[in-house]
Chains A and B, each alone.
Chain A
């Protein structure tokens, strides 16, 4: 594998509301024990990428704590491994948040220059998939194109009111058009905003964009390449899930209750999604536990009822409590006789005895980290 990886941790997070108030999108918990960053990172690490730069904009403390040295992905190496790339101040300029992917890349040109890999894979955290990135790079090299874009015909739980990137791919696999729209135009596919490109070429393109005062990687750099006929598409083979706003977060979480989604994300033995261990105890079902159609992590204690829900590590569902259609994050406690329906309870929440909370699938009721209700 002769490619380095770049992961954007914040792009496309503008509609996630309070979920990302105190964390990057990349460190948003998902699927009982993961953070969104685990997906692109594991896809890259399993493909043999040894050098991964993670571009962060703000609030990257929780991300840094999650990644640590990268040892969990076998990326704590003598050379390369994981590099966190936060904004920085220089002698001449105060650090500013990156407004977009282009600025993030420009700020990290030194990192790109220092690398020795011939290619770069660029990915984000707002879509979840499990794909063979080794094949992605191989096909890119074979194609002779300047840029490859990963795409999918279907992205589950995309929200119609939110902009997405679409590309038109012809029968030969060439990308002939790109649009950013709310609904999918006819004949277009979803772009997964995941790219493969030669490193030297990427540097020269972003330097030129900077000189020309351009503002967007997607609209300026990529569109120009498409117009030149230099872009090919690579179709994702598995299921792709969107994490765009609270509704799609809940929908994409509850999608894990479908066996084909679990199989697509976690069924590939050669590409396991990796996350740091927490050394929790095994999950315990009490004398009166009633559990149906739920995805449950380790370290959980269930004494009450759980239906159609995703339960994270270390959560406790006490006697008489009923949790339905909800996501209960790490170490949160739902006390005796409380009822939770269509809720997303963030980490370390305490729902006191007998409280009833309910949202709806289109409007999940969200409870902030460390709250007590």
Chain B
């Protein structure tokens, strides 16, 4: 069978500048999330759980760690002879070499990859969001609507709508108008950055867009408005469920906290412990965690090979973290291989991997009294050291 019904193209080249310093060495999709995952595990697991086994991952910014992480795609069962996971970096061609200019240009440069699988439909995704979504249902609607393009939307509160790309639709869901970050939004249906295109339409619009020197080669700014202008059949697909853009440090922190628990009255919760919709990830060779005689551990997620002898409250610990006796971690995210020494206090902070917080050091402050504190990779906070609430401690070698 030399054909795939639907393949996915995952835009993973984003720098994630608002997530600095977490994205200083890694592309945003490779940023760790929820004690053992990376952001990209969510769209990739959604794909395989939706029956889409062929994904082109478009990389550009800091790809080393992301490439290592993706490998042959085996964690997502995408190491296949025909199809599977493919990393698509920018490349040199006879006519010259180009970085991907915009999202549409990135797909344009890989049209040959799409054609090889001769799919009827192409799903375009990004590696910026935390959500569990069955793309198969969206594809069924796309087919039933005989649509040229279907855009997944989520209902957002009216007061937040001006932060998103908003779709105005008719009763059948057909998109009449698309407004990027409107001042006076006419609807609350925000684009999730998830598109399904019928392949022929996608390729013809990408080729036309490439020929237009005035275009910024972007889906949201160029391709979608042009298709609407031409009266193509474009539909919105309303997604109901947990969906968060984790593009800023604050939203990244909140989504991690959502993974621990959410208020009862919250209609859409992030549930990771779901055997019917597993989120797959590349695992290390870590042994189980050890919780010591001392300390209180509550309302938290704790990763493999952690040794916890201090207090952990409302926090997410990644793997191989050591919390020594008398140390206390609250409202925080502690990534892989960190050590929080005796008597140290970490409150309302993100501590990136490989950090050591010295004895009796103090990082951050109470959540209701100020801003999030962030410590970049491999930093060492000395004994009795203090990191003021709201500070961002960069890596020594970074030229910020």
Contacts and interface: CB of A to CB of B under 8 A. Distances in A.
Contact of A286 (B273, B279, B298): B298
A257 B290 contact: yes
Interface stretch (A81-89, A166-174, A208-216, A288-296): A288-296
B36 interface: yes
B288 A273 contact: no
Nearest to B280: A279
Contact of B273 (A32, A33, A293, A301): A301
B382 interface: no
B137 interface: no
B183 interface: no
A282 B298 contact: no
Contacts of A285: 297-302, 312
Given A274-B285, A282-B34, A298-B304, A292 B298 contact: no
Contact of B272 (A273, A281, A289, A294): A281
Contacts of A266: 287, 305
A284 B260 contact: yes
Nearest to B260: A284
B345 to A, nearest CB: 19
A279 B302 contact: no
Given A277-B283, A289-B297, A299-B273, A282 B291 contact: no
A64 interface: no
Task: Identify which of B261, B288, B303 gathers the most chain A CB atoms within 10 Å of its CB.
Answer: B288
A283 interface: yes
Interface residues of A, number: 38
B290 A279 contact: no
Interface string A245-279: 00000000000010100100110000011100101
A287 interface: yes
Main secondary structure of the interface of B (DSSP, over half): loop
Interface centre among A32, A265, A283, A298 (most CB of B within 10 A): A283
Contacts of A273: 285, 287
A285 B285 CA distance: 22
A281 B273 contact: yes
Interface in B236-273: 259-261, 272-273
Contact of A279 (B278, B288, B297): B278
Interface string A323-364: 000000000000000000000000000000000000000000
A293 B293 contact: yes
B36 A298 contact: yes
Contacts of A282: 34-36, 259, 272, 301-303, 316
Contacts of B219: none
A297 interface: yes
Contacts of A274: 285
A297 B288 CA distance: 4
A162 interface: no
Nearest to B297: A285
Contacts of A265: 287
A32 B304 CA distance: 11
B157 interface: no
B120 interface: no
Contacts of A279: 75, 278-281, 283
Nearest to B316: A282
A115 interface: no
A109 interface: no
B292 A289 contact: no
Interface string A292-310: 1111111101000010001
Interface in B69-107: 74-75
B45 to A, nearest CB: 9
B264 to A, nearest CB: 12
Interface of A: 31-33, 71, 257, 259, 262, 265-266, 272-274, 277, 279-299, 301, 306, 310-311
16 contacts: A262-B287, A279-B280, A279-B281, A282-B36, A282-B272, A282-B302, A282-B303, A283-B301, A284-B300, A285-B297, A291-B291, A296-B289, A296-B290, A298-B304, A301-B273, A311-B288
7 smallest A-B Cβ distances: which pairs?
A282-B35, A272-B285, A32-B288, A281-B273, A281-B272, A266-B287, A297-B288
